[in-house]
Every structure is written in structure tokens, then in C-alpha cells.
Structure 1
Amino acid sequence: MKDKNNAVKIGILTLHRSINDGAVLQAYCLQKLLQTRLPQARVELIDYRPWNLEKIEYRKLFTRRFPFVNHYKWSKRSSLQEFINQHCSLSTTSCTTNNLQKVQKFILNQHYDAIVVGSDVVWQIRENRAYLPIPNIFWLTGLPGIKKISFAASADKSEKSLWQQEYIKKQLLDSLKDFHWISVRDEATEQILLNLGLAETQLSYMPDPTILWDFSSLLDTPKNITPSSKGKLAGIAVGSNQMSKTLTQIMVAKGYQVVNLLGSKLNGQLSLPLNYSLNQRLGIYPLLDFMVTDRFHGSIFTLKLSNAPLIFIEESDKYRDYPSKGRDLFQRLGIEAMVLRSEGGEVPDNLIDKYTAIWDDLSPDINKSLSTMRESAEENLKKFASILTP
């Protein structure tokens, strides 16, 4: 349904309410990208949140030990909400529910001409992801009369055994057959969809919107992150505290000061101020001289905003069935040698020297590879825009 100005109305269905810089920035970049490609359209984020996901995010705000509150998570949550309110257009009403029928009704009442699902891990299926059961709204089930598109959707960390269950395959195929265009951002997701029964001609590769959109204007360089007298600052963003401690010890021994970009300060690390905005957290990346992360978007931020050697950690217990989205990205950019597959959380003591040497060989071509990735996406972006053009 056109709005009062006869503009096409497009909704983006994604995971924009996570306490996660990458999740929020990819939503922002996708909205900016769509609005630029379709200037006459009205593009907005569909403000839907699965209730179970909300509970998971809410639990992150508390700790089991005194003072029982995770002040950093509270502050980060507030800063991300502020960013969304300032920089993103949202649906006029919101919906938080696990009930598929309720969210279907909510979305239909917004009168969208088209819905774009993605990017992010909107198609992940895991036993412990109860907030995304099958069927769920991220497959755009039960939304007749609306153009359906996936943009760089991912099923990263999905469990192969679940995808192979016949009743799940049938429900997903029934949903996907109504899509006007399907694009994914990693090979693992492509293989999963092919195994469901889709043809290669039905699928396209699309880089993450944070690669396609220039967000450098958002950066706010922090004033109180000060490297040591040697001028070397290393960033760490890994989920395992034990691995973070080990990496910190290795880096400190090499003369680096270390900042934990996930915010939880451990011994030997610089403190990240509680009141930092998303813009200020992004502003740390150009200051880095080395970076180790298991985060997909943390990798992209480092690649786009700094010249620092970058190691992506791929933990074997999390990627048993398929390669990680990080490995897929590094492979496409020609830097797969910078992926460290960790068994049981182990990292080598010579990590910095070993990977600095590899980086020195690979880094001259990275910017060219990123440019090539953006250029190769242009044809698909034009096709994408043509589908949404009335």
C-alpha cells in the first residue's frame, strides 16, 4: 500500500535490538543503502522483537555476583537505543511477542509493499535458539500480497541435523518459494539452502551492508584511549574470557596495551568508559595496531577503519558442521590465512609474530579486494532495486 505521498513502503526485518554494535550498524547501513537506491520509497525498520530474544538480552544486564548489575551492558544498551532513535526510521508501532500469528497481524497492519529480511543471522536454527522456532517470521511466513526479499541473510552456526529434518525442510521451502529474490552473505548459508532443494539460480551472494555502505562519517575518535609510550594498542573482541586473558598476556608481553572492545575489562586491559556512544566505540578502530576477534562485524570494522593486522578466531566447537561466516569473508578477500581455528580455546604463544608476517604479505591487496567485492555486488544491487521499483 502506498503512503499518502504515493511512495512505496518497504520494511526491513532484522535483529536491530540486540546489545550488539554490529547488529545495529548493519541495520543502519541496510536502511541507508535501500533509501539511497530507492529515493522515492519510504524505508523503515520493522520494530519487532521476539520475546524470548528480549529475555536473553535482558539477562545480559545482570550478573550473579555483587553488584549484580552489568553497568557496561546497561550503558551500551542505552547508547544503541539512542543511535537507533537518532539515525534510523522505525515503524510507528512496535511488537514484542513469540506468537507467530500476532506478529503476522502486526506486520500486515503496517501495509508494506515489500519486506527485506536481513542481514544478520536471521535464518539461524539451533536447539538452544528457542526464540527462533520453525516456523518464524524471519522466513516471512504468512504474509500474502507482499514482495519478499532476503538481503545478505545468514544461517551461521546452524545445526546441520535440524536442517535435515523433513518437516523443517518442508516448512522452509514453502516459505522460500514465495520470495521474489534471495541473497545470502556466506557459503554455509548457500549450501544449507541448496540442500533444502533450492536451485543455484535462485540464490545470489550479497556482501554485508556494512561493507557496501560507507559509515566512516559516524566515527567519533575517543580522547581517553591512550596507547602506551611505545604507541602500540591492541584490540580484543572474543566471547571467551579465558581466551581474552590468554591473548592479553601474549600482547602485553609484546609491549601492547590492550582494550577489550566487548567492554568487560580484565586484568591487563584498558578500561572502556561506560558512557561511550556507538560512534566513539567505532572511533577506537583507527587507533588499533593489532586486532584479534571472533566477531564478524568486528572484523569488518577493523578492515575498513584501520590498517591493523587482523586475526579472526574460529572456535572448532562452534563450527562443527559448516565454516564460519568470518572464514567465508576472509576467504573471499584473499586473507583466509589470517583465520585461526582454535581447538579448545587454545592460541599459540607466537601468535603476534606469526600472523604479523602473514599480514605483511597479504595486506597490500585488502583495500582492492574490498573494492572488488563492492563492485561485484553492483549488478545484484540493481536487480534488487528493480524488483522493488513499481
Structure 2
Amino acid sequence: MKIAIMTQPLGKNYGGIMQAWALQQVLKNAGHEPVTIDRQADVKGPAYTAARFGYRALQKVLGKRKAPINIERYLPTILQQTNEFIGQHLKMSEPLNSTAKLKAHFEREQYDAVIVGSDQTWRPCYSPNIDNFFLDFLQGSDIKRIAYASSFGVEEWEYTKEQTQRCAALAKQFYAISVRENSGVDLCRDYFGVEATHVVDPTLLLERSSYEALYKNKEIHERQGVCTYILDQANWKNQVVETVKRELNEVQYYNQPKASLSEFSSSNLGDYNMPSIDEWIKGFADAKFVITDSFHGTVFSILFNKPFISLINPSRGASRFYSLADRLGLSERLFSKFDEFAVKELLSVEFHYPDISHKLMGLRRESERFLAGALIY
């Protein structure tokens, strides 16, 4: 089958890239032809562009922004290595920055099915156009509609009344719906009036060896110690890191840009450059311990059998952490604040991976059955 995949724009986030790659791999292994749709944000008008320039200029004058006002022009360099991975390892559509272009693409390509997911594709504040991620542009088409591990990100309802009405009607046209969090099952039932199945993120459908193959035989410096992958800095998170380093007597290393594109805290453009996907994955493979506030950082810690601590970011979506941890018996590894006693206690307990691996295998099989069943004509 020729299958289109609707997911978030790729390039700036390692987890987003890896879940897109993993889903393509799973579909290819099953004999399908997947294409990830490059749905970019709609083109903004002159008024928006002028307002953004003015806001950034003011932030610069106030000393709250160190990055260039026109940092977008440097994105090809900043994202060079992640975009190279996408170009080499994923089959993508052309960039589509409007509903009209999206509709025309699907009419031209004649896909047999479309899969929405994974990642927070059903979170309105994250998706370029939330109606598109419920396939509003396919009205009148008989293409098979599937949601695989689509995520709302949070437990509370973030849709407006109008969005709820539109998306509920569109959700009822899906052949099969699965979500990444347990809370998503409830949200689909309560607000859309549809049944959904709880499945794992696409990255968890692949074995560890699939990721090792991406960096095998490449010259990547090996590191030892505590690997940190932290997206949002905070003092309490630093306290957790320092406690773990001290208790384990290990050094810290990380595989991410020195400065975030969401904070613009550096005037040095090189600080925003994203390391390669190979380096990012191998960072987890080499670690003795991982500390992360990223959902996919947590996933790769589990895949590589590494003891870890996950630091919860409520604004980015906490339900996905709790949902996965509950199903694997890892809830004690989630922290929402610094608790020195709890950190030390956790470090004193053996990380018993065979139990986790057994549970993960069961979840993986359930998810594979859902996806295979949804794609049968």
C-alpha cells in the first residue's frame, strides 16, 4: 500500500524525527510504501511579519534576546545535520504550507491510506492546522484514515468549542484510531464520541539494534558518565543532575545544542547548531545513567537499557510520561521537583531491565496488531 503519514514538521526536534523514521521503517518492513507529508506552517502575511520583527527588536533592546532578529535565515546551517538525516533516511513529500496545497498533493498522489501520528499531532497549539490533522482536506475521498499513536499531549481539553465540533465530526470518519496516552482514550470518547486504542510510540516498535545500525561503523567519540538531554532548563533540574553526578561519581555530557531555538539565549550562532542524529542516539548508548525532561529521551533510555530519571515538563505535556511509565512499572523514575532523598533512594535500587523488557514486548505486540489490522483491506 502507498501510505501517507501526517506528523509534525520535522527538523528541530530529535524525538520528532526519530518517531517519523521509526514509523516509516515499520511500514517498509511490512511491505508498504510510506511517504511523510511535510506539512509546514501556513505562510504569514506582511502584518504578522512586521509585528514579529517589532517584537523581536524590542526584546533585543531590553536585553531579553541575544539571537539575531532574523535567525530564520540561519536555519539551513543550524539544522544542517538533522535535515541531512531526514533527506537520507526518510521519504518526504514536497513542503506544503497550505490546506489547498495539501489537498492538491493528495489528489495527485492517490494514496491508499493515510496515518496521522505520532507525536502531539492532535494538540492544537502544536499543529500547523489542527483540522488538517483530522484530514479535513479529504472530504469526499474514500481513502482509509488511520490514527497511530496520535497524542493530545496533556490530560486537560485544549480545543475550542468550534474546534471540538469540527474535529469530532472528522474523527468519526476514521477507520481506526489509536493514541499514545491512556488519557487520550478518555479524551477521544468524551469529546469526539469515538473509541480509541492505547498503543506505544513508533520508536518503541523497533528493537535496539535498529538504532545501533544508524551509528555503527561511524567515527563518533565514545563518552562515559551521566548523559543529560534537557530541553527546558530550571534550577531544580540542575539540582537533580548535580546530586546524581555526586552520588555516582561520574562526569556529565550531553548531545544537544548549547542554546535553544525557543529561548534565543546566545548571540553565538554556533551554539544553536544541532548535533547529528547518530551522535544523539549514541549518547544514550554510551551512558551509565540518563537524566532527561524529554519524552523521547525517556524512550531511548529504556530502549538502551539505561537507568534514568525523567524530569516532567507540564507545559510540554506530562501525560505521555506518566502513561508510558505506568505501563512499564517505572513511575518512581519521574520527578516534578527536586527531592534529594528520593533521588538517592532511586540510585540505590537496581535497574532491573528484564522485567521492563518483558512488559515492553507485550505492549509492542499489541501495538503491532493494531497497526496491521488497521491496514488490512
Shorter-chain TM-score range: 0.7 to 0.9
Structure 1 residue 106 and structure 2 residue 100: aligned?
A: no
Q: Distance in 1 between matches of 2:111 and 2:220?
A: 43
8 Å Cα contact 2:118/2:201 also seen in 1: yes
Say how many residue pairs are matched: 345
Q: Distance in 2 between matches of 1:300 and 1:75?
A: 28
Q: For residues 217-366 of structure 1, what are the structure 2 equivalents within 5 Å?
A: 217-220=213-216, 223-227=220-224, 232-254=225-247, 255-264=249-258, 276-305=275-304, 307-316=305-314, 324-340=319-335, 342=336, 346-350=337-341, 352-358=343-349, 360=350, 362-366=352-356
1:125 to partner: Cα distance: 2.6
Amino acid at match of 2:89: H
Q: Deviations over 1:272-303 (max 9, x none)?
A: 99674201210111211111212111111111
Q: Distance in 2 between matches of 1:338 and 1:182?
A: 30
User: Could you state the TM-score of these two structures normalised by the residue count of structure 2?
Assistant: 0.80
Amino acid at match of 1:245: N
Q: Distance in 2 between matches of 1:281 and 1:372?
A: 27
1:148 to partner: Cα distance: 0.8
8 Å Cα contact 1:76/1:277 also seen in 2: no
Partner SS state of residue 386, structure 1: coil
1:26 to partner: Cα distance: 0.7
Q: Counterpart in 2 of 1:65?
A: 66
Q: Counterpart in 2 of 1:87?
A: 89
Q: 1:198 to 1:115 in 2, by over 3 A?
A: same
Unaligned runs of 5+ in 1: 1-7
Unaligned runs of 5+ in 2: 261-269
1:74 to partner: Cα distance: 6.4
8 Å Cα contact 1:335/1:362 also seen in 2: no
Q: Which of 186, 195, 204 is equivalent to 2:190?
A: 195
Q: Distance in 2 between matches of 1:50 and 1:226?
A: 38
Structure 1 residue 20 and structure 2 residue 13: aligned?
A: yes
8 Å Cα contact 1:45/1:89 also seen in 2: yes
**RMSD (Å), alpha carbons:** 3.3
User: Could you state the TM-score of these two structures normalised by the residue count of structure 1?
Assistant: 0.77
1:332 to partner: Cα distance: 0.8
Q: Counterpart in 2 of 1:5?
A: none
Q: 1:150 to 1:365 in 2, by over 3 A?
A: same
Amino acid at match of 1:139: F
Q: For residues 141-180 of structure 1, what are the structure 2 equivalents within 5 Å?
A: 141-143=136-138, 144-157=141-154, 159-160=156-157, 162-163=158-159, 165-180=160-175
Q: 1:115 to 1:367 in 2, by over 3 A?
A: same
8 Å Cα contact 1:125/1:158 also seen in 2: no
Q: 1:248 to 1:334 in 2, by over 3 A?
A: closer
More helix by share: 2
Amino acid at match of 2:257: G
Amino acid at match of 2:95: S
Q: 1:35 to 1:316 in 2, by over 3 A?
A: closer
